[in-house]
Amino acid sequence: MAKVTVQNLIEKFKLELLSGEDGIHRPVTTSDISRPGMEMAGYFNYYPAKRIQLLGKTELTFFESLADEIKTERMEKLCTYDTPAIIISRQLEVPEQLITAAAEVGVPVLRSKMPTSRLISTLTNYLENELAQMTAVHGVLIDIYGLGVLITGSSGVGKSETALDLVRRGHRLVADDSVEIRQEHEGSLVGTSPELIRHLLEIRGLGIINVMTLFGAGSVRLYTPIHLIVNLELWDQKKAYDRLGLDEETMKIFDTRIPKLTVPVRPGRNLAVIIEVAAMNYRLKIMGINAAQQFSERLTGVIVDGDKEEI
């Protein structure tokens, strides 16, 4: 099923449908918008027919200077069975040749009141968001001091309970149990919650609670970029956990690698505080302050100085 159709664009941006009503269910498969200036001049060798075609004042002014038989030819070539839609900006008058050619192949012809540049940017932003790659991850997503922290781990390890404690400490819940992740741009992942479970937390023994109702609108957020992943796992006595913080593990989602920490869970550990501090420490690393690295350099310096004294 298509993620975005021409009908979605009509409803979202209040576009006027002038022709091609039979084609409003055509899928839009790319966020790129084409302004067919070269095509208006007759160059169709590399015509990107699968893009939305946007005609502004420049294209239509040039089009009006052409002879009638050329106008018909250009519009027939512009309207193909692959073209999702042709949009006219600035409420400009639509050429009759376009209406006729579009009707023959069922290409929707739409009109907008917005200026051309603004319409391009608005459409592009919307399509990039809707057409972005998406996957679902089992976990909890929390906004901690403006950083998106994805908490993962096996079922029953305490993810939701930790999220509840973090919300009580003033942080904001984005999603519980299922986190929808989109790669909107290269190197940028954005997480959100499925609409069905938005603002809800499942606490074993307590049931489902509505975080926004209990703690207010400031305790939730609709979406957030993901900066850090914290994986909770039951304490394994045989496993050697990182004690200095020098080992940097990452998790790859689509083409993006996100820093990942593994936090062992056992009675007596305050996971909310640990994750909160992990977020603050990550922010310091971004600012160039790495406590583990500084300690390693100090230790190296002490060892070197000791060797010099022995010599």
Decide if 138 is catalytic.
Answer: yes
- Would you say residue 149 lies in a domain? yes
Decide if 171 is catalytic.
Answer: no
In DSSP terms, 230 is beta-bridged to 151, 261
- Would you say residue 76 lies in a domain? yes
Structure tokens at 27: 């899928």
**pTM summary value:** 0.74
- For CA atoms 107, 110, 114, 116, give the dihedral sign: positive
Our count of domains for the chain comes to: 2
User: Is the same domain home to 154 and 220?
Assistant: yes
Q: Say which amino acid occupies 179.
A: V
- Would you say residue 304 lies in a domain? no
Task: Show pLDDT as tens, one digit a residue, over the chain (311 residues).
Answer: 458 999 999 999 999 999 988 899 999 999 999 999 999 999 999 999 999 999 999 999 999 999 999 999 999 999 999 999 999 999 999 999 999 999 999 999 999 999 999 999 999 999 988 888 889 999 999 999 999 999 999 988 889 999 999 999 999 999 999 999 998 777 789 999 999 999 999 998 889 999 999 999 999 999 999 999 999 998 877 777 777 666 788 899 888 899 999 898 888 789 999 999 999 999 988 888 877 677 767 767 777 666 556 65
Catalytic residue among 177, 198, 260, 285: 177
**Residue 148, marked binder:** no
Catalytic residue among 243, 252, 266, 308: 243
**Residue 159, marked binder:** yes
- Would you say residue 54 lies in a domain? yes
Decide if 243 is catalytic.
Answer: yes
User: Is the same domain home to 78 and 185?
Assistant: no
**Domain housing 79:** 6-130
Query: Of 243, 24, 5, whose CA–CA distance to 131 is shortest?
Result: 5
Last residue of a domain, one of 130, 152, 167: 130
* Rounded-to-integer distance, Cα 95 and Cα 65, Å: 12
Half-sphere exposure of 70 (CA within 13 A, CB side): 11
User: Is the same domain home to 198 and 50?
Assistant: no
- Would you say residue 1 lies in a domain? no
User: Is the same domain home to 30 and 164?
Assistant: no
* Rounded-to-integer distance, Cα 88 and Cα 85, Å: 10
Catalytic residue among 12, 138, 185, 298: 138
